[in-house]
Amino acid sequence: MKFNTKAIHGGQQHEEATGSVMTPIFQTSTYAQSSPGVHKGYEYSRAANPTRTALENAFASIENGTHGFAFSSGLSAIDCVLRLLKPGDEIITGDDLYGGTYRMFTRLFQKYGLKFKFVDVGEVTNVVDEVSDATKLIWLETPTNPLMKIVDVVGVTNAVKNKNTDILVAVDNTFATPYLQRPLDLGVDIVMHSATKYLGGHSDLVMGALMVKDEKLAKELHFIQFAAGAIAGPMDSFLALRGIKTLHLRMQRHCENGMAVAKFLKEHNKVSNVYYPGLESHPNHEIAKNQMDDFGGMVSFRLKDESKKATFKFLESTKLFTLAESLGGVESLVNHPTTMTHASIPEEERLKIGITESLIRLSVGVEDIDDLLDDLSQALKQ
Ligand SMILES: *Cc1c(COP(=O)(O)O)cnc(C)c1O
């Protein structure tokens, strides 16, 4: 099946008892057994629930994996991956990470003896130079949040695996979605999503996803998911499953609108920098063109007037773009990383990589582009 078909049918079966075309919401914690240990494959919903199973099969299908796992949040999906490791193990990761991931790494897992090295993963050598005997995991985001840097996934994966094939490479594919890039096909071991964002797509749930194509790794992750228990519930699983059925349609429009907004901002006399991998001026545009099928709906930028006053004025003036955290829903959002999504990163670290007070991040939705540009235009006049 091609991607657009997989988004709708991947891993899905009509429900057996009634023929129900949509997977029902199996709102149950437990399942009847005819004799101790004799059941229809479901015992207790932390281990498995049919609505979640349908979603997990869809997750695997859209990322070209063999196994998918649904969690109660994106962060609990990352937490599950880190539980593969033990004290003393090293993780190499980017210096421009989602704030909550950075917080989990530094304030939770560091305390249990995991060691993190934060490097500019835009250069393959920066990653390879840090690899040691203790390195067990490379954690990548691309495009990065909020600076929209692109990591050469094949370059990093090949270079790291050349040194040691046992090192796992994981990609947080939240920003791109499998509509734009499929990391498992690029040689990566684990794909992670905050399904809260584009996969769900309607700003109505919080959920995480992992996808893999290796049987042994799948077994280990399933054991952790079951043993630690941060599973997605049946109602949320149903919503995410419904969201995925229009992923390709939404992404197509997100990409069109994202490009139009990026071009509009780039031409605007009040705007200085625009961060969008689809612009030829983007430093990683060539890698982005090779690695991605299109460039998505996330656009960051700065005003020429970098004062807090001008930045806040803009943030308070948009009408269609709602000032809110999160991204990837059908509606357009505007976000101020410094005070909102990236507040958990210490100021010194933030400034080092360019997340200053003047940075503005847009999640461009699927509304009519004329209305979106009108809104930005009026807000820039304020
Ligand atoms: C939102 C987000 C997360 C965290 O996911 P939650 O669903 O909020 O727990 C992780 N990575 C990226 C890139 C995100 O945008």
Average pLDDT rounded to a whole number, residues 83-94: 98
pLDDT, residue 159, reads 97
* Host H or E run for residue 300: strand 298-303
Any ligand 1 atom below 6 A from CB of 194? yes
CA of 194 relative to ligand 1 center, distance in Å: 4
pLDDT at residue 348, as a whole number: 87
Q: Which of 95, 96, 98, 102 is catalytic?
A: 98
Distance 74 CA to ligand 1 centre (A): 5
Nearest CA residue ID for atom 9, ligand 1:
74
Question: How far separated are the first and last CA of the chain, in Å rounded?
Answer: 49
**The pLDDT of residue 345:** 81
The answer to whether 340 touches 146, Cβ cutoff 8 Å, is: no
pLDDT at 350 over 90: no
Distance in angstroms (rounded) separating the CA atoms of residues 128 and 131: 5
- Residue 17 Cα to ligand 1 middle (Å): 36
Predicted confidence at residue 341, as pLDDT, reads 80
The whole-number pLDDT of residue 344 equals: 79
CA of 195 to the centre of ligand 1 (A): 8
State the virtual CA torsion across 257, 99, 220, 127 in degrees, nearest 10.
90
pLDDT digits over 157-168, tens only? 999 999 999 999
Closest CA to 57 of 12, 26, 22, 102: 12
Is-catalytic flag, 44?
Answer: no
Summarised one tens digit per residue, pLDDT across range 227-266 is 999 999 999 999 999 999 999 999 999 999 999 999 999 9
Q: Mean per-residue pLDDT for 173-191?
A: 98
Residue 295 near residue 306, CB atoms below 8 Å: no
Q: Quick one: CA torsion of 148, 151, 152, 153, rounded to 10 degrees?
A: -120
- With cut-offs at 50, 70 and 90, classify the pLDDT of residue 36: very high
Q: What is the pLDDT of residues 269-320, one digit of tens each?
A: 999 999 999 999 999 999 999 999 999 999 999 999 999 999 999 999 999 9
For residue 325, name the pLDDT band (cuts at 50, 70, 90): very high
The DSSP bridge partners found for residue 333 are 322, 363
| Res 346 pLDDT > 90 | no
Pocket flag, ligand 1, residue 61 (CB < 6 Å): no
Catalytic residue among 31, 42, 46, 161: 46
Looking at 268-355, list the stretches that DSSP marks H as alpha helix, in order from N- to C-terminal side.
285-291, 308-317, 347-353
Entry pTM? 0.96
Closest approach atom of ligand 1 to CA 206: 7
Q: State both tokens at 4.
A: 């657009």
* Cβ-contact 120, 349 below 8 angstroms: no
Whether 370 is a known active-site residue: answer no
Residue 98 alpha carbon to ligand 1 centre in Å: 7
Tell me which of 381 and 353 has the higher pLDDT: 381
Length of the chain: 382
Q: Which of 96, 152, 172, 294 is catalytic?
A: 172
Q: Residues 115, 197, 302, 350: which is the catalytic one?
A: 197
Cα Dmax for the chain: 74
Residue 5 has pLDDT above 90, yes or no: yes
Give the 3-state secondary structure of residue 376. Answer: helix
Ligand 1 contacts CB of residue 300 (under 6 A): no
| Distance between CA atoms of residues 118 and 104, nearest Å | 13
